[in-house]
């Protein structure tokens, strides 16, 4: 009987040793798995950040292009208004001159009668 107890103790010891080895292996595999997930997460995060900032950079570049086009359009409108204003100023000068000389013509008797 005592011999059976010794054998059972040794078997129990071997079984516990196997369980300990299994726990160590599981812990090692779990650590490798977690490292793999962390590395994958870091790679995914880097990829996500690069794509996000790339999209934002392209969006900002397209907005800048839009504003450049808008500024050039407004600049051309301002140039057009300036040229129109110069035309109107020259027309006003001509009208003023015509008015000035028209009075002189009327004074001299070349204008319409009764004015």
How far apart CA 44 and CA 26 sit, in angstroms, is 26
5's tokens: 């107890």
How far apart CA 72 and CA 79 sit, in angstroms, is 10
**Model pTM above 0.75:** no
pLDDT band of residue 27 (cuts 50, 70, 90) is very high
Which pLDDT value is given to residue 77? 94
CB 106 within 8 A of CB 115: yes
CA-based diameter of the chain, in Å? Answer: 156
Helix (H) or strand (E) holding 70, with range, is helix 2-108
Q: What are 69-99's pLDDT values in tens digits?
A: 899 999 999 999 999 999 888 888 877 777 7
Which pLDDT value is given to residue 110? 54
Which pLDDT value is given to residue 66? 86
Which pLDDT value is given to residue 59? 82
Cβ-based burial of 102 (10 A; exposed 0-12, middle 13-18, buried ≥19)? middle
Q: What are 34-68's pLDDT values in tens digits?
A: 999 999 999 999 888 888 888 888 888 888 888 88
Share of the chain above pLDDT 90, in %: 30
């Amino acid at each position: 009987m005592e011999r059976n107890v010794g054998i059972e103790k040794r078997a129990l010891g071997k079984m516990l040793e196997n369980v300990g080895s299994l726990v160590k292996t599981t812990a090692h595999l779990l650590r490798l798995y977690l490292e793999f997930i962390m590395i994958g997460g870091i790679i995914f995060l880097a990829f996500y950040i690069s794509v996000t900032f790339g999209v934002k950079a392209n969006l900002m570049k397209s907005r800048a292009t839009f504003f450049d086009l808008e500024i050039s359009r407004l600049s051309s409108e301002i140039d057009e208004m300036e040229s129109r204003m110069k035309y109107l100023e020259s027309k006003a000068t001509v009208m003023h001159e015509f008015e000035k000389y028209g009075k002189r013509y009327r004074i001299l008797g070349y204008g319409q009668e009764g004015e």
